[in-house]
Amino acid sequence: MEAATVTGHCAADFEGVRTAFERNFREHGEIGAAVAVTLDGEAVVDLWGGHATEDRSRAWERDTLVNVYSTSKGMTALCAHLLADRGELDVDAPVARYWPEFGQAGKRDIPVRWLLSHRAGMIAPRHPLSPGRAYDWDYVCDALAATPPWWEPGTAQGYHAVTFGYLVGEVVRRITGQSLGTFLRGEITGPLGARVFIGTPAEEHPHCADMVGQLDAALLTEQFPELPRPPLRGLDDHPLAALALALMSIPTGDINSAAYRAAEIPSGNGHATAHGLAAVYGALAGGGLVSAATLEELRRPQSRPGEPDLTLGALVPEGAPGISWGLGYMVNSEGRVGPSPRAFGHGGAGGSYAFADPENGLSYAYAMNRYGGGTAGSDPRNRVLVAAVYEALGRVRG
């Protein structure tokens, strides 16, 4: 495959990251991508290369934005934790304290903690929504408020693939009076100068890369045409049924359209640069966004050891570590992302990933536009980059 032009800055000790990044274009079919790393608050890697479109007509630039799918969830969770840090949100209080309508249908006592840790049993509305409804925030939130949980809340974890952003985002909106994307931009990414958006302004659309390939949830429903009814049973026999339900219940439409980019779907339509994501996680790693107590709480595992995820379990390769959830973040207690056991972050369908490693003062972000595999750091392009980062860190730390 033709080598791509890679541009940007890489500290001498981290040249192995550049080598791995360039190899991804030759060996893993990369079209356009960026990788960024900060160490002790300084950018040590800021590389980009390839093309922003499938026809290679537009080069990837430093400020190219791309849909990072569920890597967006890390930004959404951070908004909630900022409010908790300020004393405006109690994660152990019932969601209904902030959003009274949510208390319907057996959900009166569900705490915010279970929204953040994917334990609320709210993976989908009771009836799939029609196309375009994903862009109607109030409509989706009203549907979720009226929905009974799909399993007994608190008893199991199941990735809230699409609904997480509406559920957490509505709590943020009820407290602040601002949409999730507006709050994120005004309180976090804007002050940091980080190019990360949930609800991307029209003037930024020319800077957006097109995703090439995307998650085809329709294939899942073809395999499992009868979506499960509550309570969810038989997931061992039909392990993709919950995922099909979660993804197809709120169809989001063409991910390269202006409507999708402008909408706020905080579970999965954040548009970001790698250096923007790394800046946010770098601020977290350095203690510049929330208190030490909040930092500890958000990455404290909420999953039981070895606990399966009802939604993602079938997507975890045999023998690979399962998903362990903190409060809105994938936690690294099972060594999923690099060797640092207390690192935390979030990945996105297709391959993007971003995380903080406070113990090493490090942050990392990878974003790309060729849809690959994995929402939890398992994409081979990401894995070789993370390995190169920690190999370099070992040299730096001696």
DSSP 8-state secondary structure symbol assigned to residue 185:
I
Straight-line distance from the first to the last Cα atom of the chain, in angstroms, rounded to the nearest whole number: 37
Per the residue annotation, which of 70, 249, 267, 363 is the catalytic one?
Answer: 70
Q: In this structure, what is the dihedral angle of CA atoms 232, 377, 327, 287, given to the nearest 10 degrees?
A: 180
3-class SS at 104? coil
CB 310 within 8 A of CB 151: yes
Helices (H) and strands (E) in the chain — how many of each? 14, 10
b/e burial code for range 104-121 (CB count within 10 A of at least 16 → b): eeebeebbbbbbbbbbbb
CB 259 within 8 A of CB 253: yes
Nearest CA to 272 out of 76, 90, 119, 21 is that of 76
Q: Which helix (DSSP H) or strand (DSSP E) does residue 113 occupy?
A: helix 112-116
Residue 379: what residue type?
D
Crossing angle for the helix pair 72-85 and 274-285, nearest 10 degrees? Answer: 30
Residue 80: what residue type?
A
Q: Which helix (DSSP H) or strand (DSSP E) does residue 366 occupy?
A: strand 362-368
Angstrom distance (rounded) from CA 188 to CA 185: 6
Tell me whether residue 70 is one of the annotated catalytic residues: yes
Residues forming the active site: 70
